[in-house]
Structure 1
């Protein structure tokens, strides 16, 4: 822009210079032509007036001298001499005026010319200053842009690695969710099985309790049978005693008591048989009572085992319930982690895309910086060329280009 302004100023100055040089010449030529016409017209008019006056005053006698060739030539020579002298005076006056006007114009033009050169010098220095500032700024920005590009590239690589890690974490989180889901379902099935087992054990406990009660009732009845057998044995003993007494009476009665003796013997034999049978029954009852006692002990042990099993099952069910709840909580947490990792994965992908766009922008900026560097070099070269032109034009001022320190820029 400064170059265009300077060229425009230079063209304007040249146009004004040519105009100021041509204008006095045109004025001089115009004045000379007007003065010549004025002199010729004035001399001719005077000559005609003299000729007319001579005709009017002297008549034919006065005309003759004018008609005389020598006289006419003398008059014209005198007239020409007078016109030449008058023309020289006016030309000298016009030349003086022309010289004064030209000197004034030249002084004004010279002042304007040096003012324009001074302005051009300032413009050149400003262009050099701007070129220096632009060059240093471009170098600094190029270094910063290079560092930023390296940092962005490193961040992009790290973010891509983080995105890959997020993908793996998301896959692992999904596997954890699936495992937690299966654990929760299996634990829930185990809790259901424990509840079913506790119900079965409760039924078994009820049956065992009922069996124990029946066994106790059987033992009670066996003891009652023992009492009955004792009564039967007592009756058999008394029967045997009566049969013995009857046999004694029958033997003392002789022939008459012989039949009674046979009956008494049969009764005694029957009583012995009853006693023997009751003994066997008593033995069986004792065995039954022993078995009943064993069954009672076993039933009691079984009841205690069932009670302990139910207690353990209740504790297991409680633990399984806690495990089910914890598994459900773990599953929910795993789902939240999976959702968060998916969101993080999406966010990382978006960050990678944004960083790639930033890298593309940084590349474009680097290309722009290179273009600016080229422009600043061209601007500096142009400033140097303009400074050389100003020196050739005779400018004595300082047209040296400022350095970065003079531009206020730290290299």
Structure 2
């Protein structure tokens, strides 16, 4: 229902009420007839109605004139213009409405300005986070690649150590045979005590294992060189035995010749000389067998030294790779103690050689186990690095979504006019 119709209804109702009150009063205080009274009533009704219409029309125009600026102001706000402001300093209902509209627009403008600042800050922060995430992802990928290289190096070292273990096992068997031929029974060696300590992190453990393997290979090289020196000592002693056997054989031959010259009186001496010659020949053969075993041992020792040198080169290359990531990989401790022993005779030397070979075999097995542990540790570190890379991918996607939302929020805020210059 329009305002005009409402005004008409109000005027009509007011006129009827006024006429209903005035007509009985007029009938009481006047002596007019009914027809005159009706004419007076109609005239009074029309006069009151016309007066009400005039008053209501004026009120309607005044109300419309007051509301038109408010309506225009509301349209401007709806179109996004928050720079307008209504000027009306009255205490009537229109003035209260104008004050409420102005307060609403001021509050909305403050909120949108804060939203604009927040969206700008979020967008800038998202860009910085995106750049940081790119750097972190690049670092994580580099660490993952380095750990994979270390894992491959550890596997190669494990295979090389296994080969060294097989060679040293053969050397141990030969040393045992030499000890049996020399009938040595004394034990003069001291068993190597290996202490393995686990690292606190996968990458640190890998570096520790590499360092331990390097020290172990140096100790094994020292042991093999000591075995070579003992073999040379044994060879010298065997040469002495061979010379003694040859001289004894020559003396026995001379004794046999002298016995044959003595005739019947030298027959018993000839038998003794023959026995001495047989013993000398047996000693020479035994010395030849020992010499052959020593040569074989020296050959196998040379092979083992070459294999260990190759292993040391592999370990050196792995240590170079580890050196590029010193902040992730650290050296922990040495694991193998020096093995010392001496020999003063053929028997003690051969026994020390056998025991030294056994220690080399044990050390090689332990080194192989360390290499396998290092390979397993680097594989776990590689898996952790890959998982970190995946997490960074998810974080980067979230940052990109945050940046997109901040741009969208800023675009929505920019649709509003907050300053006069916009």
Question: Aligned pairs, how many?
Answer: 281
User: Which residue of the partner structure matches residue 363 of structure 1?
Assistant: 400
User: Which residue of the partner structure matches residue 196 of structure 1?
Assistant: 177
User: Which residue of the partner structure matches residue 9 of structure 2?
Assistant: 26
CA distance in structure 1 between the aligned counterparts of 2:410 and 2:58, rounded to whole angstroms: 54
User: Which residue of the partner structure matches residue 351 of structure 2?
Assistant: 314
User: Which residue of the partner structure matches residue 386 of structure 2?
Assistant: 349
Does the Cα contact within 8 Å between 1:131 and 1:376 map onto a contact in 2?
A: yes
User: Which residue of the partner structure matches residue 160 of structure 1?
Assistant: 141
How much has 1:376 moved relative to structure 2?
Answer: 2.2
User: Which residue of the partner structure matches residue 132 of structure 2?
Assistant: 151
Sort the Cα spacing of 1:356 and 1:82 in 2 relative to 1 into closer, same or farther, 3 A: closer
Q: How does 1:203-352 map to 2 (within 5 A)?
A: 279-281=262-264, 308-352=345-389
Deviations 1:68-115 (A, max 9, x none): xxxxxxxx6x667744675578669968997999999999x9722222
Bigger shift: 97-106 or 317-326? 97-106
Sort the Cα spacing of 1:308 and 1:140 in 2 relative to 1 into closer, same or farther, 3 A: same
How much has 1:352 moved relative to structure 2?
Answer: 1.0
How much has 1:350 moved relative to structure 2?
Answer: 0.9
User: Which residue of the partner structure matches residue 103 of structure 2?
Assistant: 122
CA distance in structure 2 between the aligned counterparts of 1:370 and 1:289, rounded to whole angstroms: 116
Deviations 1:343-402 (A, max 9, x none): 001111111111111111111111111111112222x42x56xxxxxxxxxxxxxxx89x
CA distance in structure 2 between the aligned counterparts of 1:374 and 1:102, rounded to whole angstroms: 43
CA distance in structure 2 between the aligned counterparts of 1:330 and 1:318, rounded to whole angstroms: 18
Does the Cα contact within 8 Å between 1:39 and 1:87 map onto a contact in 2?
A: no
CA distance in structure 2 between the aligned counterparts of 1:282 and 1:131, rounded to whole angstroms: 139
How much has 1:181 moved relative to structure 2?
Answer: 2.1
CA distance in structure 1 between the aligned counterparts of 2:128 and 2:62, rounded to whole angstroms: 64
Does the Cα contact within 8 Å between 1:169 and 1:341 map onto a contact in 2?
A: yes
Deviations 1:129-154 (A, max 9, x none): 11221111221222211111111101
Sort the Cα spacing of 1:101 and 1:278 in 2 relative to 1 into closer, same or farther, 3 A: closer
Does the Cα contact within 8 Å between 1:28 and 1:98 map onto a contact in 2?
A: yes
How much has 1:295 moved relative to structure 2?
Answer: 7.3
Bigger shift: 146-155 or 113-122? 113-122
CA distance in structure 2 between the aligned counterparts of 1:162 and 1:90, rounded to whole angstroms: 98
CA distance in structure 1 between the aligned counterparts of 2:6 and 2:166, rounded to whole angstroms: 111
Sort the Cα spacing of 1:50 and 1:194 in 2 relative to 1 into closer, same or farther, 3 A: same
Judging by fraction of residues, say which structure has more helix. 1
Sort the Cα spacing of 1:137 and 1:41 in 2 relative to 1 into closer, same or farther, 3 A: same
Q: How does 1:6-155 map to 2 (within 5 A)?
A: 23-33=6-16, 82-83=40-41, 86-87=44-45, 111-155=92-136
CA distance in structure 2 between the aligned counterparts of 1:200 and 1:342, rounded to whole angstroms: 48
CA distance in structure 2 between the aligned counterparts of 1:86 and 1:141, rounded to whole angstroms: 75
Does the Cα contact within 8 Å between 2:158 and 2:368 map onto a contact in 1?
A: yes
How much has 1:170 moved relative to structure 2?
Answer: 0.8
CA distance in structure 1 between the aligned counterparts of 2:18 and 2:51, rounded to whole angstroms: 11
User: Which residue of the partner structure matches residue 185 of structure 1?
Assistant: 166
Bigger shift: 349-358 or 320-329? 320-329
| Bigger radius of gyration | 1
CA distance in structure 1 between the aligned counterparts of 2:402 and 2:378, rounded to whole angstroms: 35
User: Which residue of the partner structure matches residue 391 of structure 1?
Assistant: none
How much has 1:280 moved relative to structure 2?
Answer: 3.8
SS of 1:118's partner is helix
Q: Which runs of 5+ in 1 are unaligned?
A: 1-14, 52-75, 230-276, 385-399, 402-411
Does the Cα contact within 8 Å between 1:135 and 1:373 map onto a contact in 2?
A: yes
SS of 2:10's partner is helix
Sort the Cα spacing of 1:309 and 1:281 in 2 relative to 1 into closer, same or farther, 3 A: same
How much has 1:163 moved relative to structure 2?
Answer: 0.9
Does the Cα contact within 8 Å between 1:162 and 1:348 map onto a contact in 2?
A: yes
